[in-house]
Chains A and B, each alone.
Chain A
Amino acid sequence: MPTVEQRVKEVTARVLKLNPEDIKIEHDFMSDLGAESVQSIELMAMFEEEFGIEMDEDAALSVETIGGAIKFITMVCKEQGVDV
């Protein structure tokens, strides 16, 4: 089973039309990966679909980096009883 990190990178690459291998854990969604505000909403939606979770919008949209997303999603999965 792919790791949370691999899945986060895959989703990010698909939404932002990037190569997953070019995405680093320290990358900032906006300044490094070029995500615009509308795309951040799309990213949140696609993360929820990928992991089968519901995220609080404010908390999710305050996440800035790939590493932050991995940490946040792992925490939400744990809270909502989703195995990852």
Chain B
Amino acid sequence: MRMILYDGPSEKRANFHPLSLSRPIWELRCGMSTLIEKLIAKIGATDVACFVEAYMADSYRAKTQMKVNDPATLAGDDLLIVNGRVKAVGFDVAATGPSEVGVTDDGEVLYARIAAADLAKLTTGGIEELLDSAKAALPTVTSELATWNYTWDLVLANPAQLTEDFKAAGRSGIEGNVEQPNAIRGSDKDVFIGSGAVIHPMVVIDAENGPVYLDEDVEVHPFTRIEGPCYVGKKSILLGAKCREGNSIGPVCRIGGEVEESIIHGHSNKYHDGFLGHAYVGEWVNLGALTTNSDLKNDYSDVSVMLDGRRPIGTGSTKVGSLIGDHTKTAIGTLLNTGSYVGAMALIMPTGKPLPKFISSFAWFLEGVVTKGFGRKKLYETAAIAMSRRKCEWTEAEKNMWEKIFEMTAPGRDEAIRRGRRRMSRS
């Protein structure tokens, strides 16, 4: 059996912007791992291939061992095709058996189990064609499988998922170096400190209300307090951080200040003081000193988020912080409103008051308005420098993907630039 992941229809992927602009949905994180790691573990597949949006295929190919967008993977074996939005928890579809297509009420395919013998009846040129022909030719059932629908679903599920993942990992104990004096509250069984990790003196690890997993080569500086449940990825550094419950951090992050129930992808920095709560932060992000996001409204009402800059979407939660895309940078003292959307490759200069709730990708937000700034080439140069500092490469494939993202996100950004110019002209 070969497992095939496909990265859902574009309109559903848009619910995960700005994070899904530059990655398939299954590369998003929740708990201690990515969604794809959970799906593969649940299904127990060893042969896995995937289909992503064409514009990100070359970039993604360099980041995965799977075959990407290869039509040959749609032939020659029984297939279990799984929509990347499907939650691993509760996935109860048998990996092999008679052909069957599971669809939602609105016709979206959540899974398709296709016996090799049935492939001859289907169109296998590409994933869309295959799924369309499978829906038409094979038995279909209405599927009740749970799905991730928005990025904030991941943030809100993170504390419970961390606890589940810690149990599943089945590791506890101290393999790294814990310098004394230190304090571990709660049960030692709820703490894992990986090999190569160094915990400086005067650190509190509080596992009273949830487990704490500090992965290999993590470094924790003095006066850091880590409350469980929490996962800190390999080679991350906590710098006197007030690391409240429910965080997934790293790998290779530098985190200071106060962070609560947030997910932070690799190579992102929040070195200094400032509060980040119920936020989802992409990779290669830098949050300047005192950058702070609100995650709770003063009237305790549900938070809404604008994913397209026009239409607020109710999250159904009173606590949602910021969604921040890859490579975005905020300057010192940036204040982000409750449920803010900050696009990818954006550069933010603060205004002294909370920023607008939607800032498009590639925006240079200066003097309170969105501008073209110094242009995207300058942003690419900065990205290349940031990556080279961590011995990573800004490739042509990466650049081509971002060029396409620039084009895709132009309408919202251009409108904001026009509004900004009108304001500039009046001032």
Using a CB–CB cutoff of 8 Å, the interface residues on chain A facing chain B are 15, 38, 41-42, 44-46, 49, 56-58, 61
Using a CB–CB cutoff of 8 Å, the interface residues on chain B facing chain A are 349, 364, 366-367, 371-375, 377-378, 417, 420-421, 424-425
Contacts of A45 in B (CB 8 A): 371-372, 417, 420-421, 424
The chain B residue sitting closest to A61, CB to CB, is B374
The reply to whether A41 and B425 contact each other, CB–CB distance below 8 Å, is no
Q: Which of A41, A46, A56 is the one whose CB lies under 8 Å from B373?
A: A41
Contacts of A41 in B (CB 8 A): 364, 366, 371-374
The chain B residue sitting closest to A39, CB to CB, is B367
Known: A38-B349, A42-B367. A58 touches B421 (CB 8 A): no
Contacts of B417 in A (CB 8 A): 45
Known: A38-B349, A38-B366, A38-B367. A57 touches B425 (CB 8 A): no
Contacts of B366 in A (CB 8 A): 38, 41-42
Contacts of B367 in A (CB 8 A): 38, 42
How many Å lie between the Cα of A41 and that of B424 in the bound state?
A: 11
The chain B residue sitting closest to A59, CB to CB, is B375
The reply to whether A57 and B377 contact each other, CB–CB distance below 8 Å, is yes
The chain A residue sitting closest to B417, CB to CB, is A45
Q: List 16 A-B contacts (CB under 8 A).
A: A38-B366, A41-B364, A41-B366, A41-B371, A42-B424, A44-B372, A45-B420, A45-B424, A46-B425, A49-B425, A57-B374, A57-B377, A58-B374, A58-B377, A58-B378, A61-B375
How many Å lie between the Cα of A57 and that of B373 in the bound state?
A: 8
A7 to chain B, nearest CB (A): 14
B366 to chain A, nearest CB (A): 5
How many Å lie between the Cα of A41 and that of B367 in the bound state?
A: 11
How many Å lie between the Cα of A10 and that of B373 in the bound state?
A: 21
How many Å lie between the Cα of A57 and that of B417 in the bound state?
A: 14
How many Å lie between the Cα of A46 and that of B369 in the bound state?
A: 13
How many Å lie between the Cα of A45 and that of B370 in the bound state?
A: 11
Contacts of A49 in B (CB 8 A): 421, 425
Given contacts A38-B367, A57-B377, 4 further A-B contacts (CB under 8 A): A44-B372, A49-B421, A57-B372, A58-B374
B358 to chain A, nearest CB (A): 20
A61 to chain B, nearest CB (A): 6
Known: A38-B349, A38-B367, A41-B366. A57 touches B375 (CB 8 A): yes
Contacts of B424 in A (CB 8 A): 15, 42, 45-46
